[in-house]
Amino acid sequence: MQQKEKTTHFGFRSVPWQEKEAAVGEVFRSVASQYDVMNDVMSFGIHRLWKRYAIASGHLRPGHRVLDLAGGSGDLTRLASQQVGPTGEVVLADINAAMLNVGRARLLNEGLMDNISFVQANAQTLPFPDNYFDCITIAFGLRNVTDKAEALRSMYRVCKPGGKLLVLEFSHPVVPGLKILYDWYSFNILPQLGKLIANDRESYQYLAESIRMHPDQQTLKKMIEESGFEDCEIKNLTGGIVALHMAWKY
């Protein structure tokens, strides 16, 4: 009997497991130059508050080492860099070269390079030593990873004992009635904004679909704890449109 090919989701479509990484990569190559503008427009600027809240929850201190996974254009890296200071280290890692180049250019223009390094890396196979980072952040990137469980195990390996994981991601609304409004905006307005501003309707259609396919708050909490992290806490932001999961390695 012929073995059935392993598949996963790319938005609402089912694709061969090994093809998702390239498909996601093409999405982000397409939107890289307009990524920051679109974030501001589609979230009405609220994404900046979500990110500040996430970094504040990390309780970073001078000298800490931070890994900003799927760091893209560098929003969390910038905030972390300011908190860990000249004795600290922030690694902005992203699997996508186009997004990494955007982040490097942006932070260079802002003069924030002294304690920041850049690494093109797959979250599933992180090229860092065991027990290295005091804090690992991943904002709006986990849902694009093909094997989320493997990525979480990889994050656990490179996190120090006593270190913290922060996963900021779109999630499932918990306020009554919000889901209907959110779905209408996501599938009717968001792709049109992508077409108008980034000349790319399809990538923002994928964005809306990928959010719906991402695990809900409790499912993601279970996945994080199954990877080895403990005491996972959930903070719903903007009615659960976004959730911050915080967990520790002991």
Express each pLDDT in 77-132 by its tens digit.
999 999 999 999 999 999 999 999 999 999 999 988 899 999 999 999 999 999 99
Question: Positive or negative, the Cα torsion across 207, 209, 213, 215?
Answer: positive
User: Is 181 a member of any domain?
Assistant: no
Smallest CA-to-CA distance from 216 within 181, 241, 190, 184 is with 241
Q: Residue 90 domain-assigned?
A: yes
Of the two residues 27 and 204, the one the predictor is more confident about is: 204
> Does the residue 229 lie in any domain?
yes
DSSP assignment letter at 111: T
Q: For strand 89-94 and strand 116-120, is the pairing parallel, antiparallel, or unpaired?
A: parallel
Q: Is residue 207 part of a domain?
A: no
Q: How far is CA 211 from CA 64, 92, 148, in A?
A: 31, 23, 14
> Residue 21's pLDDT is what?
82
CATH of residue 64's domain is 3.40.50.150
Is residue 6 in a domain?
Answer: no
Extract the tokens encoding 222. 């279970």
Helix (H) or strand (E) holding 13: strand 13-16
- pLDDT tens digits, one per residue of 153-165: 999 999 999 999 9
At residue 2, the pLDDT reads 52
Q: Tell me the pLDDT tens digit for each residue of 6-47.
A: 888 777 787 788 878 877 778 777 777 777 777 888 888 999
* 4: confidence class by pLDDT, cuts 50, 70, 90: low
Q: Does some domain include residue 202? A: no
Q: Classify each residue of 73-98 as buried b or exposed e, where b means 16 or more C-beta atoms within 10 Å of its C-beta.
A: bbbbbbbbbebbeeebbbbbbbbbeb
- Three-state DSSP class for residue 73: coil
pLDDT value at position 125? 97
How far apart are alpha carbons 226 and 220 in whole angstroms? 10
- Can you give the pLDDT at residue 22? 79
For the entire predicted model, the pTM comes to 0.91
Q: 162: domain range?
A: 15-31+43-172+215-248
Q: Render pLDDT for 173-194 as a digit per residue (tens, 0 to 9).
A: 999 999 999 999 999 998 898 8
CA distance 40 to 35: 9
In a domain, 177, yes or no: no
CB 235 within 8 A of CB 244: yes
Assess contact for 98 and 32: CB atoms under 8 A: yes
Please give the torsion angle defined by the CA atoms of residues 175, 180, 141 and 100, in that order, rounded to the nearest 10 degrees: -120
Residue 63 lies inside a defined structural domain of this protein? yes
Give how many domains the chain has, as a whole number. Answer: 1
Please give the DSSP secondary-structure letter assigned to residue 118: E
pLDDT tens digits for range 220-235 = 999 999 999 999 999 9
